[in-house]
Amino acid sequence: MTSDHEQTIADTLKRLHRTDDLSGIEAIRVEALGKQGWLNQLMKTLGKMSPEELQVEGPRLQGMRARISEAIDDRKAVLEAAELERRLASEVIDLTLPAPETPMGSVHPVSQVMDELAEIFADLGFSVATGPEIEDDWHNFTALNMAETHPARAMHDTFYFGEQDRDAEGNRMLLRTHTSPVQIRAMMENGAPIRLIAPGRVYRSDSDATHTPMFHQIEGLVIDRDIHLGHLKWTLETFLKAFFERDDIVLRLRPSYFPFTEPSVEVDVGWQDVDGRRALGGDGDAPGHGWMELLGSGMVNARVIEFAGLDPEQWQGFAFGVGVDRLAMLKYGMDDLRAFFDGDQRWLAHYGFSPFDQPTLSGGVGARA
């Protein structure tokens, strides 16, 4: 009996050594030590033995059991180590390989132009202000001296919120139609003097090739004790020369009307024909030249200054408002405004700007190609 078992154990150990996979080892374990395994069956016979037999057979069978499970554990460890070796060898990471190229986003022309304007105006001592896109009709219209009967207040021009969405003071809420309400908010919050620009989204119920329901404006506001139209003209000239990166920018100030300025001027910029293209620059009255309307501005109406809580006897200033999308189209040569907001990757890849190329006055405010 004893030698039989020794032989079986020797066979088992031999087979273990020849087994190269963990499932084979498991099969051998079940065969010997499983519930129905031969060694387990043998252990069950211990219960029927006399104490003398048990003293001899007990330790002997326990010893056999220990030898087999030890051998199983050892073989498992060897195989697991080999498997680890194999994976370490095959799954190496080569740190010398070039990194996979990650697609880089680009800066949208609207953001680019806003950054350029912020840079230019920062140099002139202007800070950047913002206001809510969901405005109330007092800031958007009333405080800007736009009468109840002003056509811009009509439903077909303006996106209104419902009657139930009035604010605490009972004002009608709307998507702001221009950045001009930021003038009111700035004067009320910070008082004078003021030198700011306010870039942002504005909304009008309007849609065709040159109008989109949402577009972008930049508002400018300067309030101080002795500001006059000359300051306005110089500021606009300096800004447009820096923005278009041309010294020959010529402006024409045309008398106009805005409820929130008095006097009001519409500002045209001279252009000239260059190979069939309109290039900004030069006197618009010269032969082959012309004028292009660019922005609205004027001296802030005394009533607006009063609405905003300042004393118009002490404080005066100028304001202007300009379409950012239009500036981008003129400078970078895009012709369909709607493409700005389609989110077409190909358009963005073509017209977008490198995020690493920050506009600076010393390095050239316009992005390099």
The residues that touch ligand DAH, with contacts defined as CB under 6 A, are 178, 180, 219, 258, 261, 296-298, 319-321
Question: CA quadruple 307, 310, 314, 318: dihedral positive or negative?
Answer: negative
Are 296 and 256 in contact by the 8 Å Cβ rule? The answer is: yes
CB neighbours (10 Å) of residue 299? Answer: 19
Closest distance to ligand DAH from the beta carbon of 93 (Å):
57
The torsion angles phi and psi of 282, rounded to 5 degrees, stand at 90, 165
Closest distance to ligand DAH from the beta carbon of 320 (Å):
5
Q: Which lies closer to ligand DAH via its Cβ, residue 101 or residue 148?
A: 148
Beta bridge partners of 136: 173
Q: Which lies closer to ligand DAH via its Cβ, residue 5 or residue 303?
A: 303
Q: Which has the closest alpha carbon to 320: 293, 299, 291, 292?
A: 299
Closest distance to ligand DAH from the beta carbon of 112 (Å):
22
Rounded alpha-carbon distances, angstroms, from residue 339 to 110, 202, 205 = 12, 17, 18
Q: Which lies closer to ligand DAH via its Cβ, residue 28 or residue 305?
A: 305
Q: Which lies closer to ligand DAH via its Cβ, residue 131 or residue 298?
A: 298
Q: Measured between alpha carbons, how far is 319 from 298 in angstroms, rounded to an integer?
A: 6
Closest distance to ligand DAH from the beta carbon of 258 (Å):
4
Q: Which lies closer to ligand DAH via its Cβ, residue 270 or residue 296?
A: 296
Closest distance to ligand DAH from the beta carbon of 174 (Å):
14
Which residue sits closest to ligand DAH, CB atoms considered?
321
Q: Which lies closer to ligand DAH via its Cβ, residue 112 or residue 145?
A: 145
Closest distance to ligand DAH from the beta carbon of 309 (Å):
18
Q: Measured between alpha carbons, how far is 334 from 350 in angstroms, rounded to an integer?
A: 11
DSSP string, 222-271: EEESS--HHHHHHHHHHHHHHHHT-TT--EEEEEEEETTEEEEEEEEEEE
Closest distance to ligand DAH from the beta carbon of 179 (Å):
7
DSSP string, 33-95: HSTT-HHHHHHHGGGGS-HHHHHHHHHHHHHHHHHHHHHHHHHHHHHHHHHHHHHHHHS---T
List the structure tokens of 208: 């065709």
List the structure tokens of 243: 């923005």
Q: Which lies closer to ligand DAH via its Cβ, residue 244 or residue 258?
A: 258
